[in-house]
């Protein structure tokens, strides 16, 4: 029989150490060979199932073990406290959980938890697993994007360097050409002056030769020659003075040669690297979020038939038995009341954030356009009435036009003057005491609210899901109440 690195639980309690070879499925104890043989001899454990560790692993009996209480290790888990989400023995239930509201027998709970609950929990775990996978994909995508951005910055730096080098090379070529032209121009001037001085020297050499060879000549001839040489001398002297007057010393200087100094001395010539981190709020899963009641806005004696969110903290409701609009703050205070021309039923926001269109069913069927002012002195006032030839129910605004359902089972598309643009026949529904949730394709997802779970959800009429203060909320009118719900994912 194979052994493992597990020790015998019974021997351990007796301050001894023996390797375990078996396990009691009922006691959840690992047993050594001797304890396994003695286990059936005990009256209390004679009916227990003892298997070798290999058989236990093959049989996967771990899921069938109920386990024992953490505080009373000799007692099995008998009850489950839903308040503390904890299983314990009956002794713990009568002491530590006696004030808890929901403490049930484990076996009874197990009977009620069937395949549907298992599949539901499995679905939740699969959804959570998918969320982890989605988050992982987002992180990998963020990592990939950051790598692309780093590459872009690197490429930009190289581009700057190449642009600077190309600019400097072009300017160097222009500069050298300019420098060469200047040198050639000055060298030409130097050559002209040197040629003139060479001519002067050649003339002087001729006159010197004449003076050297004066022997044998008569005095008159010598005199005349000397006078001519003196004349030449004066002329050469004058020419030399002229040349000297036009001669200037030429020096080359390089001005503004330090225009790159501030770049060369700059610690960050390419700019300063900065990494911005933005906390991305994960998109809540509203199709799996539970609703949490946060507030109840009520006006005694009023039947609220529809509701609309105005701004971040204002709620507008229509009352069909008093022909009024009631503007509440989300804290519950009544901010303003507006009188309507007749009996209202539904409303919708128009293209303007603080303007609503209300359907009036009697005495005159119409659409009433109401402006809602929500500053320090809130007011509700009618600005326009559009008369209708049919009795309206629900209403929604669509890019400046209105889509209205009516009691005759038709859906009409009208403009702001009441002209009918299109008509569609729809199926009539029925009244229920629940709220159903559909996905974006109109497919039923679940029953999110119902009277069976909450007595206050009675005869719901108006419903609205709106983002208020960056938080999505569900607004629901039930009789004379406006119930405000948050999604638990927020």
Q: Report pLDDT digits (tens) over 156-173.
A: 999 988 998 999 899 899
Alpha-carbon gap, residue 322 to 301, rounded angstroms? 9
Q: Can you tell me the mean pLDDT for 255-266?
A: 73
Give me the mean pLDDT over the 458-462 stretch. Answer: 85
- What is residue 336's predicted lDDT score, i.e. its pLDDT? 86
Q: How confident is the model at residue 144 (pLDDT cuts 50, 70, 90)?
A: very high
CB 104 within 8 A of CB 85: no
Question: Domain ranges in the chain?
Answer: 9-112, 141-265, 291-487
Using the predicted structure, report yes or no on whether residue 437 has a pLDDT greater than 70.
yes
Output the CATH code of domain 9-112: 3.30.160.60
**Helical residues (DSSP H) of 306-404, grouped into ranges:** none
Across 164-191, b (16+ Cβ under 10 Å) vs e yields: eeeeeeeeeeeeeeeeeeeeeeeeeeee
> 428: buried, middle or exposed (CB in 10 Å: 19+, 13-18, 0-12)?
exposed
Flag whether pLDDT at 4 surpasses 60. no
Residues 6+ apart with CB under 8 A from 426: 405, 409, 410, 411
**Which residues, at least 6 apart from 469, have a Cβ–Cβ distance to it below 8 Å?**
312, 313
C-alpha distances (whole Å) from 104 to each of 73, 74, 91, 129 are: 20, 20, 13, 30
What pTM, to 2 d.p., does this model score?
0.48
For residue 416, the 8-state DSSP code is T
What's the pLDDT score for residue 60? 54
pLDDT tens, residue by residue, 387-423: 988 899 888 888 888 888 888 878 889 888 888 888 8
Q: How confident is the model at residue 283 (pLDDT cuts 50, 70, 90)?
A: low
* Sheet with strand 471-478: strands edge to edge: 291-298, 481-487, 471-478, 460-468
CATH architecture for segment(s) 291-487: 6 Propeller (2.120)
Residue 22's pLDDT is what?
92
């Amino acid at each position: 029989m194979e052994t493992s690195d597990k020790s015998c639980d019974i021997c351990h309690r007796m301050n001894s150490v023996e390797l375990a070879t078996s396990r009691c499925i009922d006691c959840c104890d690992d047993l050594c060979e001797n304890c396994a043989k003695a286990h059936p001899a005990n009256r209390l454990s004679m009916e227990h199932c003892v298997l070798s560790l290999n058989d236990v692993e093959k049989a996967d009996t771990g899921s069938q073990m109920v386990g024992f209480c953490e505080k009373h290790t000799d007692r099995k888990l008998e009850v489950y406290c839903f308040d503390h989400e904890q299983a314990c023995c009956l002794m713990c239930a009568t002491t530590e959980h006696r004030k808890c509201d929901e403490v049930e027998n484990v076996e009874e709970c197990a009977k009620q938890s069937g395949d549907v609950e298992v599949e539901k929990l499995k679905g939740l775990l699969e959804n959570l697993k998918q969320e982890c996978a989605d988050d992982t994909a987002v992180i990998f995508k963020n990592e990939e994007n950051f790598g692309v951005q780093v590459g872009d910055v690197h490429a930009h730096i190289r581009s700057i360097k190449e642009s600077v080098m190309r600019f400097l090379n072009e300017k160097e070529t222009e500069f050298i050409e300019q420098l060469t032209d200047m040198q050639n121009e000055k060298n030409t001037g130097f050559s002209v002056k040197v040629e003139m001085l060479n001519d002067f020297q050649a003339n002087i050499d001729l006159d010197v030769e004449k003076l050297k060879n004066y022997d044998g000549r008569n005095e008159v001839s010598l005199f005349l020659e000397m006078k001519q040489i003196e004349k030449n001398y004066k002329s050469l002297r004058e020419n030399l003075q002229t040349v000297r007057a036009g001669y200037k010393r030429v020096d080359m200087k390089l001005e503004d040669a330090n225009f790159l100094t501030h770049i060369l001395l700059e610690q960050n010539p390419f700019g300063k690297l900065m990494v911005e981190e933005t906390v991305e709020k994960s998109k809540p899963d509203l199709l799996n979020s539970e609703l949490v009641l946060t507030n109840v806005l009520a006006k005694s004696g009023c039947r609220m038939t529809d509701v609309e969110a105005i701004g971040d903290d204002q709620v507008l409701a229509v009352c069909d038995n008093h022909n009024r609009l009631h503007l509440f703050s989300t804290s519950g205070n009544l901010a303003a009341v507006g009188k309507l021309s007749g009996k209202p039923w539904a409303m919708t926001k128009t293209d303007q954030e603080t303007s609503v269109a209300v359907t009036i069913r009697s005495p005159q069927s119409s659409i009433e356009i109401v402006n809602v002012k929500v500053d320090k002195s809130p007011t509700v006032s009618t600005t326009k009435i559009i008369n209708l030839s049919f009795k309206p129910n629900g209403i929604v605004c669509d890019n400046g036009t209105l889509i209205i359902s009516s009691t005759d089972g038709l859906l009409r598309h009208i403009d702001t003057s009441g002209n009918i643009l299109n008509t569609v026949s729809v199926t009539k529904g029925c009244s229920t005491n629940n709220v159903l949730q559909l996905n974006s394709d109109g497919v039923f997802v679940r029953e999110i609210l119902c009277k069976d779970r909450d007595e206050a959800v009675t005869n719901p009429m108006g419903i609205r899901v709106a983002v208020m203060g960056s938080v999505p909320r569900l607004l629901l009118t039930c009789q004379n109440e406006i119930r405000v719900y948050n999604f638990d994912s927020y």
